[in-house]
Amino acid sequence: MAHPTEPTVWYRISQPLARWWVGALVRARFEGLENLPASGPCLLLPNHQSVLDPLLLQGTLPRPVDSMTKSTQFSSRFFRWLLPRVHAFPVRRYRIDAQSVRVVLRRLEQGCVVCVYPEGERSWDGCLQPLRRGTLRLILRAGVPVVPVGIDGTYRTWPRWARRPRRGFTAHVRLGTPIHFGPYRDRQEREAALPEAERVLRNALLELSGEAARVRVASPPIVPVAQPESVPAPGVRAPRPGASRSDAEER
């Protein structure tokens, strides 16, 4: 039996298939692959824009990725057979699933790369959603390197609300530098560290996914406007808003 850190035969078979299928839909550009630790346990935390995200990651990353997958994906007999063979394990999202937490911690102890989507579900609008507190508690409890992953572009290719994918877009996948949290064995310590962990992780995901840059472009910094020194005399037209300085000076 292969070591848990080694990819299974089915993982090896599915990797090029996933690469081929995703590659047919979207041009993928990866940055920061060197940030993925070459060995040892690590938690991969990507933002979730599309159904293509896990295929993109598992199809390209050099180490096998164990994905926390919603339990409804295991509903059909075929997927219940296939998904564990491609390193996925189920999580019941409608309750606190202690078993999935145990599986994550066990796989991290074995030195695996475990992928958890901290938003808990795909985004409806492509923007980063609130991070689940349960995931943050898990990060603080595990105390392994956390690699934030920003995915940008898969939402345009196949958003959650679309029935079919659209071709012609480029997806950027950026792996950030590993962040170290904890480990916090004590529950009170974990609770105290939650807000800071959320802030750090959220900022990292916003930067890596390009969302922070988009927000900066959409709302440029407010530049204070110099107040006119005197009120124009009656009959003198004030410069139009938006008129250039030379226009105003000419008048």
Considering only 71-79, 145-153, 165-173, 188-196, which stretch makes contact with other proteins by CB under 8 A? 71-79
Q: Do residues 123 and 47 make contact, with C-beta atoms less than 8 angstroms apart?
A: yes
Which of 20, 81 has the CB closer to other proteins? 81
Which of 2, 222 has the CB closer to other proteins? 2
Nearest to 114 by CA among 93, 135, 92: 135
Q: Do residues 147 and 176 make contact, with C-beta atoms less than 8 angstroms apart?
A: yes
Region at 211 (left for phi over 0; alpha for psi -120 to 50; beta for the rest): alpha
Measured distance CA(244)–CA(12) in Å, rounded: 63
Considering only 36-44, 99-107, 211-219, 234-242, which stretch makes contact with other proteins by CB under 8 A? 99-107
Interface pick for other proteins out of 35, 60, 71, 129 (rule CB under 8 A): 71
How many contiguous H segments (helices) and E segments (strands) does the chain have?
Answer: 9, 8
Interface pick for other proteins out of 20, 33, 124, 185 (rule CB under 8 A): 124
Check residue 85 for interaction with other proteins (CB under 8 A).
Answer: yes
Check residue 12 for interaction with other proteins (CB under 8 A).
Answer: no
Check residue 134 for interaction with other proteins (CB under 8 A).
Answer: yes
Nearest to 210 by CA among 133, 162, 165, 156: 156
Binding residues for other proteins, rule: CB under 8 A, are 1, 70-72, 74-75, 80, 84-85, 89-97, 99-100, 103, 120-121, 124, 132-134, 160-161
